[in-house]
Structure 1
């Protein structure tokens, strides 16, 4: 596994425990003021789970924690550059705004898709240049438009006449992207019902109106929907975009940016990211062969979903009739178990309320030879809707055991709450020594 590294900052912070391993330094009470910024350095990842659990046990601490695997993030970036080398990624901050995660993306040269004043401020605080931000919300508050202008963010999206009127008042030199309504109807989250101008009727009118106001439109953007299923949806959207480029040029706009939006899968998915990328590459080659056209995208879950792994502890267990779990009268005399863990649908599993999907958990310590029981896993709150895994066959766990949930980075911590007083998990960052 390599050598464990000890904390190197004891000279700057004499009170800090110099015997603490770097990968556990986030648990130190002086971690917030440490120049290390909480980034961990060790391998392999499972050892980090085990050592963190061991350290928490010594402190009689059963809090859940979130492991952020920065190696996985680097791998996702490499995959993007391999499959879509000519498309610049602008990460959708709304998906997961963890500061160290954002800082890592910034260090790789990724741009940022921001949708509010707060997100713009979060990114600018990292030292990111304003020209690496696209303000990708078609319906913005006037004060937010002014704030973007005052901080040098001038690449904005719009999809209606009223938005152009606001921009004309609050932005002196904007660079505008026309958001059009296109959609993969099979996407888990179609977005065309809320944003986007009709590409055949309204979009040409908006291009003319922007020209009348003296506002430069530099391109077109679209979003086929989050967790899209049909790669061909991008080709249809690019065909509409090409037509609007021709119309925009006729009105004097310098059309040069195509923003293909998001919708790219994060976890293992069918169809795969590689299939999406191949479809986009083919469509771009056929429709936008001009190398002077700048291609950008707004991936969110593609980068965020896989690097985050939740490790939650079992805070309570109740033995019940298996019938209560399976809903089968033939199981009335059998035993089942209900477990209560310290994260749930008001925390990092909040995405399940809209996804109707919860990632399956697996015990950190599992007895492969143990008897299997019908099991139900609840979240920690008093709400009976806080229900995570139902009628699952598991070996018996005890209070204090730990369950691992992978692919927990997309729309989890960014939208989680502290309902019922349950706090968010502590993030613990992992990076291998070769990438430190």
Structure 2
């Protein structure tokens, strides 16, 4: 598998969005890497797309279904054999690929299918940026963010570990490692079981697989469960650390307060626990640009506090209780966004992290540094293409009494599917249209645009993806395309009403630049 994926990924460039470029100049960061060369011709791209569609033979059945087959090894290989569509530019070329794929869908009589376009080139460039800005910190990708098997295998090849929180996620991590020739036992150094409240059965599964021995706790109850059920497991004490501007707050549910943490150190010593270090998570989805006098974002301030607090606990744990504490997990909270390269928020936040790590956890201290990014790698890498499967003209009356044109469109997916991120992840959707039936220009600022609403496909009136927008006239089968849909989308979906939305297909591309 590793050799197949190697051949699919072209040389990468470090092209940057303007915000990141400006921030890095302020930080006196290194210059850009040379841009890779490729013909990237539209004819080649379209031919490759058509060939890919034929080889993948799209159906209503998801590629991931293959993994459930009796022959796991054969099933795991299948999603990896098709070539990636090679793109010169992710932002410029993806609409053309979407149109071509939609037309191939029609040829195969799959006119109502939604599909994801996943760019592994974006993932690779994000890893380059990570290594530049956090060279001492190994990313352990949060599987819950997007558990696509091919994405996981690509991340293994790039040197990622995994943050798993359930037996199913741990099995996915093991399979991804196997694709790169890493056996289950060897995955121990590549997986953290970042779940502070595990059923006993989870601990049994951890021990049985032998693929993970590092896990988190933040309470006396969890500490005692871990020690009794899996005595040799290595424990990370999770402390509370909040970014007040994070979209998804976690501190109210997870993380010990300082006074609780000190008491848990003492209890861990009394129980003979194997305390390996400290972990925290500042919250997910923070991207504010407000800065203090140090140039810190709210996320940067949260990281500074948490790293300093973790050092206090390390000192007490090592000196007073004799623990061999050698792991610091700085969690997630790294932004995704629509652009392939991270922006100024990431640059400023990681600068603060580097400074605090240099002060409190210098290299000579011998502490392994890991993190749990999810949306950082996955969000910008996926564009989601949904179909228009129905429409209804319903003129609406303005406040002045005049009737104006209005159209209700129904999409092939909705809030119960991948757009659950609107409800649960506080997503603010952006979108554009791609005309499939003809070659009209894409976009939503058409001279003939009228008032419109986008419904999901279920019978629930709540299933409204976009309440009020302006759209050009669309036809059945046209696409409404949503960028930055790689994080906390399909993994949170369900097939409510019997509408099969969880089986959306993935088409893999590899771009050379954003």
Match of 1:137 among 192, 195, 203: 195
Task: Specify whether residues 369 and 147 from structure 1 end up closer, same or farther in structure 2 by C-alpha distance, changes over 3 A only.
Answer: closer
For the Cα contact (< 8 Å) 1:358–1:389, is it kept in 2?
no
Match of 1:284 among 339, 357, 368: 357
Task: Specify whether residues 336 and 270 from structure 1 end up closer, same or farther in structure 2 by C-alpha distance, changes over 3 A only.
Answer: farther
Q: 2 CA distance for matches of 1:331 and 1:282?
A: 61
- Stretch of structure 1 that moved more, 223-232 or 242-251: 223-232
2:140 match: 90
For the Cα contact (< 8 Å) 1:258–1:296, is it kept in 2?
yes
1:52 match: 101
Displacement after TM superposition at 1:289 (Å): 2.1
**Match status 1:417 vs 2:494:** yes
1:316 match: 390
1:227 match: 285
1:22 match: 52
Q: 1 CA distance for matches of 2:477 and 2:488?
A: 27
1:334 match: 404
Match of 1:255 among 325, 331, 338: 325
- What SS class does the counterpart of residue 262 from structure 2 fall into? helix
2:9 match: none
For the Cα contact (< 8 Å) 1:39–1:431, is it kept in 2?
no
Q: 2 CA distance for matches of 1:39 and 1:406?
A: 23
Deviations 1:160-193 (A, max 9, x none): 1122221222223221110011211222111111
Q: 2 CA distance for matches of 1:81 and 1:331?
A: 59
Displacement after TM superposition at 1:369 (Å): 5.2
Displacement after TM superposition at 1:358 (Å): 3.8
2:204 match: 146
For the Cα contact (< 8 Å) 1:39–1:430, is it kept in 2?
no
Displacement after TM superposition at 1:37 (Å): 2.7
Aligned ranges 1:181-192 → 2 under 5 Å: 181-192=240-251
2:117 match: 67
For the Cα contact (< 8 Å) 1:376–1:392, is it kept in 2?
yes
Number of aligned residue pairs: 418
Q: So what's the TM-score if we normalise by structure 1?
A: 0.89
Q: 1 CA distance for matches of 2:360 and 2:373?
A: 22
Task: Specify whether residues 369 and 413 from structure 1 end up closer, same or farther in structure 2 by C-alpha distance, changes over 3 A only.
Answer: closer
- What SS class does the counterpart of residue 396 from structure 1 fall into? coil
Task: Specify whether residues 265 and 108 from structure 1 end up closer, same or farther in structure 2 by C-alpha distance, changes over 3 A only.
Answer: same
Displacement after TM superposition at 1:223 (Å): 0.6
Match of 1:41 among 67, 81, 84: 84
Match of 1:360 among 425, 430, 446: 430
Structure having the higher helix fraction is 2
Gaps of 5+ in 2: 1-39, 67-74, 88-92, 289-297
Q: So what's the TM-score if we normalise by structure 2?
A: 0.76
- What SS class does the counterpart of residue 43 from structure 1 fall into? strand
Deviations 1:266-310 (A, max 9, x none): 115886212211121122122222442211100111111111111
Displacement after TM superposition at 1:59 (Å): 2.4
- What SS class does the counterpart of residue 347 from structure 2 fall into? helix
Displacement after TM superposition at 1:356 (Å): 3.9
Q: 2 CA distance for matches of 1:345 and 1:73?
A: 26
For the Cα contact (< 8 Å) 2:50–2:100, is it kept in 1?
no
Q: 2 CA distance for matches of 1:297 and 1:25?
A: 37
Task: Specify whether residues 108 and 356 from structure 1 end up closer, same or farther in structure 2 by C-alpha distance, changes over 3 A only.
Answer: closer
Aligned-pair RMSD on alpha carbons? 2.4
Q: 2 CA distance for matches of 1:271 and 1:342?
A: 35
For the Cα contact (< 8 Å) 2:204–2:230, is it kept in 1?
yes
Match of 1:118 among 168, 171, 176: 168
Greater RCO structure (CA 8 Å; 6+ sep): 2
Q: 2 CA distance for matches of 1:301 and 1:28?
A: 27
Q: 1 CA distance for matches of 2:78 and 2:457?
A: 34
Task: Specify whether residues 315 and 5 from structure 1 end up closer, same or farther in structure 2 by C-alpha distance, changes over 3 A only.
Answer: closer
Q: 1 CA distance for matches of 2:242 and 2:498?
A: 39
Deviations 1:341-366 (A, max 9, x none): 10110000001112343412101135
2:236 match: 177
For the Cα contact (< 8 Å) 1:168–1:215, is it kept in 2?
yes
Q: 1 CA distance for matches of 2:403 and 2:198?
A: 60
For the Cα contact (< 8 Å) 2:58–2:505, is it kept in 1?
no
- Stretch of structure 1 that moved more, 304-313 or 367-376: 367-376
1:237 match: 306
